[in-house]
Structure 1
């Protein structure tokens, strides 16, 4: 198996673990009247802001002005778009069993939100969902406390570094900040999208496939070498799976945590898509232990990143975060139920298409940003046309996917009831 193929399958495996956590958190929130009431209280200010904007009432700059620390040209429509974005991300998460959060930051930027604000808002949305679903935190699997502590120490350092770099780039040039974030998503989504589409085509030719398929994991040469290096302090883990457990230096774990935290702060994601391949293929941690540690790090990494690196600097828009939370709670449930009604191969095809749509969206947004930075000489008409093509492609693909899932759910709801 090629290295690129192996990386893709481990990233998909990580996304599946995060999606399962997301689904459990959503069910935990919806099953509790107290949590639903808390959600209503949190969402009420967001709704009032949008109503105020619709009525053309003056609002503080931080709530809806056109300054650096708020969305560009905020309107009630953007709040509705945030709900739709959360709904579509939830549908992808519930349907494919793989995290749909990768589309949130590109989607917010397409709606006119500045990149750094989209990153901070997405992190806060993840953190808010984790806090509200506290019941799920008890089910963390086989977590080694020492392993988790060393990882979180490293992720704290990485988050701080990523947040500082993101804010420094923004203060240097807001357009450069958007370009930087867009480039990262172009590379990531391009890689994942191409492999996901090839995977879909391969499975279709083979006559089917499971939408939730993924890769397994085995210890290789690198994990064995790292575990033999006795650099104190040493951590013992997987004691329930291996007699006497495995041992590894806390420095290696902390370094992996730093990389995960750095990328989480830069991209506005929980970091789970990196935790899995690092733990399994670099540190040699079992998949079972990795799942629990991944859930734990998402809670603390997203919380620390959103509050310490973005919230206190004004780079979180709570109205949009609440909109995404409302949409995702519904989308995840509908998506998860719909998987019982349709062949997995079709879901996998839509998943690949959604990733490629996000890739196209950020790629076509680059000409305008590079032109504004005087790196490329592109006429305003051409750059605007590229941006419009990227936006329409993205929202059309995601919208068709969402309409198809919801339509299938409504038309076949009797089958679900019988099941």
Structure 2
């Protein structure tokens, strides 16, 4: 297996692990009346304001520096924007539920395409993840799996990484808001381009071979953990005696295993840094780093992953973005509402459609996100005077990228929802 293929499997396993947490958390909220009431109380003011605005009761035009539509801060708000946030959350939830991977990748590009500045999109997505985590995570069921030593070392590193990522995003924004958008777009172009190309290659390979695959991307990643074993990098790191040494997996291996807390903290720093830069949540990378790099069992990883998601997303959202005014709370509430609905519909739909079709849509959605951010770059680079490009050309490219993205994601959403309602009788028998 090539190094690039292994890297892709690592990202896929990361996406699958985070999607699993997202699904379980959403179901905990949906199935608990008390949590639903709390969510209703949180959403009620936003919905009432949206209805009022839709009825024409607006506050009128605001000065640009105080919140006009084209200002960078604070965020411009209308009932339409709230509706868009619900649609974005719905689509992300459908992808997560139907595919078991990757739904969170589309949120920041989608928000930026809707006109939200990159730093607001990142901060808002982190707050949405944090709000979902504290509402829906059942920690006590998983705490028996947590290695306290691994958790502490990882969270120390994660805190440092989050701080570094937040400082970079804010520094770029304060220097030049366009530079901040460009930086975030470049990060997404690289990541989504890599994931999208490999996902499409996998889809085409499976289509040609005629394999009967499951809908969830995770089904192609299940063997990755078993294959990692205690060889290669995990064995080398565990053999290093760099203090402090942390014991783990005592219940699974006689005498347990040991690894330096320095390596665990470094992994935490990477996870925290990426989460703060992209707004995708720390769970995106924790699972494969523990398995592939540190050699920790999935049994021990699960509880630690839950704790770090709450800490990383919470610290990033509050300490790095909220106190500086870079969270769009109405959007976060809309995305939370949409994702709770979408993830359940998506998961149920996998029972009545062939997995190969959903996998194809997943590859197209990721590539659409890649094209969306790629086509937005020329305009940004032109505004920064890095390249020479006319405004009409730049605007046309941006518009094409936006249309491509929303058409692909929209078609996927309509198709999944159509399958859901079209097979309602079958699904009722399954539930």
CA distance in 1, matches of 2:143, 2:18: 12
Name the residue aligned to 1:320: 331
- Superposed CA offset, 1:167-210 (max 9, x none): 00000000000000000000000000000000011111121322
Name the residue aligned to 2:202: 199
CA distance in 2, matches of 1:74, 1:378: 31
Name the residue aligned to 2:393: 382
Q: Measure how far apart 1:376 and its partner are.
A: 1.0
Contact in 1 for aligned 2:185/2:374 (Cα 8 Å) = yes
- Superposed CA offset, 1:90-114 (max 9, x none): 0000001113001000000000000
- Whether 2:179 is the aligned partner of 1:173: answer no
Contact in 1 for aligned 2:207/2:356 (Cα 8 Å) = yes
CA distance in 2, matches of 1:418, 1:53: 41
- Please give the TM-score of this superposition, normalised by the length of structure 2: 0.93
Contact in 2 for aligned 1:121/1:321 (Cα 8 Å) = yes
- Superposed CA offset, 1:263-288 (max 9, x none): 10000011223223321221111223
Name the residue aligned to 2:425: 414
CA distance in 2, matches of 1:206, 1:245: 43
Contact in 2 for aligned 1:231/1:249 (Cα 8 Å) = yes
Name the residue aligned to 1:58: 59
- Whether 2:109 is the aligned partner of 1:106: answer yes
Aligned match for 1:119, one of 109, 119, 122? 122
CA distance in 2, matches of 1:294, 1:174: 33
- Superposed CA offset, 1:126-183 (max 9, x none): 0000011143563357221110111011000100110011000000000000000000
Do the aligned partners of residues 140 and 193 (structure 1) sit closer, same or farther apart at CA in structure 2, a change above 3 Å counting? farther
Name the residue aligned to 2:376: 365
Name the residue aligned to 2:14: 14
Aligned match for 1:91, one of 86, 89, 94? 94
Q: Measure how far apart 1:214 and its partner are.
A: 2.8
- Whether 2:214 is the aligned partner of 1:210: answer yes
Contact in 1 for aligned 2:18/2:283 (Cα 8 Å) = yes
Unaligned runs of 5+ in 1: none
CA distance in 2, matches of 1:382, 1:65: 26
CA distance in 1, matches of 2:392, 2:102: 36
- Whether 2:257 is the aligned partner of 1:246: answer yes
- Whether 2:80 is the aligned partner of 1:69: answer no
Name the residue aligned to 1:281: 292
Unaligned runs of 5+ in 2: none
- Whether 2:266 is the aligned partner of 1:265: answer no
Contact in 2 for aligned 1:13/1:214 (Cα 8 Å) = no
Q: Aligned runs of 1:7-46 on 2, under 5 Å?
A: 7-46=7-46
Contact in 2 for aligned 1:140/1:295 (Cα 8 Å) = no
SS at match of 2:73: coil
Name the residue aligned to 2:49: 49
CA distance in 2, matches of 1:237, 1:375: 50
Q: Measure how far apart 1:52 and its partner are.
A: 4.0
Name the residue aligned to 1:334: 345
Do the aligned partners of residues 192 and 210 (structure 1) sit closer, same or farther apart at CA in structure 2, a change above 3 Å counting? same
SS at match of 1:98: coil
CA distance in 2, matches of 1:371, 1:132: 43
Do the aligned partners of residues 234 and 116 (structure 1) sit closer, same or farther apart at CA in structure 2, a change above 3 Å counting? same
Q: Measure how far apart 1:65 and its partner are.
A: 4.2
- Please give the TM-score of this superposition, normalised by the length of structure 1: 0.96
Kindly report the root-mean-square deviation, in angstroms, between the aligned alpha carbons of the 2 structures.
Answer: 1.7
- Whether 2:305 is the aligned partner of 1:294: answer yes
SS at match of 1:281: helix
